[in-house]
Amino acid sequence: MTPRALLLVFLCGALFGLGLARSTMVSPEVVLSFLTGSDFGLLLVLGGAVVVTLLAYQLAPKRL
């Protein structure tokens, strides 16, 4: 991979980490509150991420 592509990979990873931390899913207490049925936020995080990714997978130009 070219250094430029690796830089993009790094930035995407950073964006992922930023989102994961912002969503508070890095806190076991928050994840547990989903698993025990007192806060369903995890579904919003997963759902939001899936919808955006689904659009990209469907719409991004096909690569060779």
The residue ranges that bind another protein (CB under 8 A) are 1, 5-6, 8-30, 32, 35-42, 44-57, 60, 63
Rounded CA separation 42/30 (Å): 8
**38/4 Cα distance (integer angstroms):** 44
Least CB distance to another protein at residue 59 (A): 9
Count CA atoms within 13 Å of residue 8 on its CB side.
4
